[in-house]
């Protein structure tokens, strides 16, 4: 499993961090896009008002998605995503879990991959430059301070409830992704490194890999 990698630190069972997972040159490249995005891109609409002006799609994040997929492969599959959650000075995030319990159905936000939001892991990669903004897990009495280029993986259900402390200064951008174990793969996106995956990636539509399979022509 990925947590046996010598570069992955186990904070507690179910919470892991890989410091400097993404090289500085790529972080700097994404930072430029992030800072421009805040002024120039239209954020996604979202039924939860907290996310309304904070979520942006940046296609260039496909590289980091693939690198994270390499780390977790083959036991864990990351749902296709190139979104970044941008928080600024004064923002903080409410305590939540990334997934309801098995058997629950949650339909109060977009679910294009038909997972009912039931996933096994949250996967985050960080960009920007900020102070404050630690992730905290109140049920486990754990708090960690990710920095630009770091990758954090945590389990998705209780007791891995987590929030983000107030951003004291700067901009904190989190590439927020969700992942499922092999047995939970919903079949709505191609498995990483499969023939189908490479065929879609090489198609004329460079963003086709982020669409559900039933929407790809």
- According to the 3-state scheme, what is the secondary structure of 44-103? CCCCCHHHCCCEEECHHHHHHHHHHHHHHCCCEEECCCCEEEEEECCCCEEEECCCCCCC
Q: How many helices (H) and strands (E) does the chain have?
A: 3, 12
Q: CA-CA distance, 100 to 97, in Å (whole number)? A: 7
Q: What is the pLDDT of residue 58?
A: 92
The packing angle between helices 24-40 and 62-72, to 10°, is 130
Q: Which domains does the chain have, with CATH numbers?
A: 2-206 (2.60.120.620)
Q: How many residues does the chain have?
A: 217
Q: CA-CA distance, 150 to 27, in Å (whole number)? A: 10
- Work out the average pLDDT over 5-10: 98
Question: How many other CB atoms are there within 10 angstroms of residue 100's CB atom?
Answer: 16
| pLDDT tens-digit series, residues 129-171 | 999 999 999 999 999 999 999 999 999 999 999 999 999 999 9
Token representation of residue 83: 């979104």
């Amino acid at each position: 499993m990925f947590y046996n990698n010598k570069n992955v630190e186990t904070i507690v069972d179910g919470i892991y961090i890989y410091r400097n997972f993404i090289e500085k040159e790529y972080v700097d490249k994404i930072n430029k896009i992030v800072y421009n995005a805040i002024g120039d891109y239209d954020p996604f609409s979202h039924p939860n008002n907290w996310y309304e002006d904070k979520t942006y799609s940046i296609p260039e994040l496909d590289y980091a998605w693939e690198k994270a997929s390499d780390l977790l492969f083959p036991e864990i599959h990351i749902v296709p995503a190139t979104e970044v959650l941008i928080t600024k000075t004064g923002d903080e995030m409410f305590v939540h879990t990334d997934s309801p319990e098995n058997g629950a159905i949650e339909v109060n936000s977009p679910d294009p991959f038909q997972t009912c939001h039931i996933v096994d892991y949250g996967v985050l990669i960080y960009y920007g430059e900020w102070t404050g903004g630690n992730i905290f897990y109140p049920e486990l009495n754990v708090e960690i301070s990710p920095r630009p280029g770091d990758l954090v993986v945590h389990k998705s259900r209780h007791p891995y409830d987590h929030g983000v402390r107030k951003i004291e200064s700067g901009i904190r951008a989190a590439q927020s992704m969700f992942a499922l174990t092999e047995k939970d793969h919903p079949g709505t996106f191609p498995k990483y490194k499969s023939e189908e995956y490479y065929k879609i990636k090489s198609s004329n539509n460079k963003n086709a890999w982020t669409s559900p399979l039933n929407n790809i022509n």
